């Protein structure tokens, strides 16, 4: 099968359901602790229960949902300690990714980061939280992928997956959206100057602001 044919091929029912459920969780439409009503979802997505069950098992393995006897599936909730641990691990891994990326950055890479930031700013101006959550993620992942370390990028994505539902809570605040735009711009300026230490410090502060705000929201 050619790459073009593969792109045109519709996803399997299980992949379709998996993508829709992951999007609902990471966008905050299904919030932490919310029950996942399989009958209603199967009807909404026009699928049978079989691909839905398989998709839920996959999401359970990713840590996005949990299963309890007599209760069924619910969206996973994280304690403050869990969030702090995830953000601490992210700090270690993302710092390495940024330093590696800065050493390899090309003008084309910077153009992609600029384009991702333009999407962030458009979403911020319109107050579109799901769009901004996605654009924010794309901005960061574009930078991490520039490190040329695919295993490291996959580890970072897994950590983001575990906390995306909480990140949408942070993005929901108007002041937080403005802060994200400002902090991204500062990081981009450091990246243009190939200043790895400054970029890491700015992105560390960017991450710290998020966890501090989430601590206040969740407590």
Last residue within a domain, chosen from 44, 75, 106 = 75
Both 31 and 46 in one domain: the answer is yes
Q: Residue 14: its pLDDT value, please?
A: 86
Structural domains of the chain, count:
2
Both 59 and 86 in one domain: the answer is no
Q: Residue 10: its pLDDT value, please?
A: 57
Nearest Cα residue to 33 out of 81, 69, 65, 56: 65
Q: Residue 169: its pLDDT value, please?
A: 76
Q: Residue 1: its pLDDT value, please?
A: 35
pLDDT averaged over 10-residue windows placed end to end, the chain, 219 residues: 45 87 79 89 90 91 86 87 93 98 97 97 91 92 98 94 79 87 97 97 95 83
The CATH number for 24's domain is 1.10.10.10
pTM of the model: 0.76
On the 0-12 / 13-18 / 19+ scale of CB atoms within 10 A, 99 is middle
Contact, 168 vs 30, CB < 8 A?
no
Q: Residue 125: its pLDDT value, please?
A: 94
Q: Residue 85: its pLDDT value, please?
A: 94
What is d(CA 209, CA 219) in angstroms, rounded to the nearest whole number? 16
What is d(CA 79, CA 84) in angstroms, rounded to the nearest whole number? 9
Q: Which domain holds residue 9?
A: 3-75
């Amino acid at each position: 099968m050619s790459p073009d044919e593969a792109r045109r091929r519709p996803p399997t029912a299980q992949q379709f359901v998996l993508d829709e459920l992951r999007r609902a969780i990471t966008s905050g439409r299904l919030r932490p602790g919310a029950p996942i009503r399989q009958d209603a979802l199967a009807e909404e997505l026009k699928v049978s229960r079989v691909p839905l069950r398989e998709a839920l098992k996959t999401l359970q393995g990713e840590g996005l949902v949990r299963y309890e006897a007599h209760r069924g599936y619910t969206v996973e909730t994280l304690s403050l300690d869990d969030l702090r641990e995830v953000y601490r691990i992210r700090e270690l891994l993302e710092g390495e990714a940024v330093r590696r990326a800065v050493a390899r950055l090309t003008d084309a890479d910077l153009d992609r980061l600029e384009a991702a930031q333009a999407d962030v700013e458009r979403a911020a101006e319109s107050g579109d939280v799901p769009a901004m959550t996605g654009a924010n993620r794309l901005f960061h992942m574009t930078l991490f992928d520039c490190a040329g370390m695919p295993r490291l990028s996959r580890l970072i994505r897994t950590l983001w997956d575990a906390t995306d539902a909480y990140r949408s809570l942070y993005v929901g605040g108007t002041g937080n959206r403005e802060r994200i735009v400002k902090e991204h711009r500062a990081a981009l300026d450091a990246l243009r100057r190939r200043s790895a230490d400054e970029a890491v410090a700015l992105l560390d502060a960017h991450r710290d602001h998020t966890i501090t705000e989430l601590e206040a929201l969740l407590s």
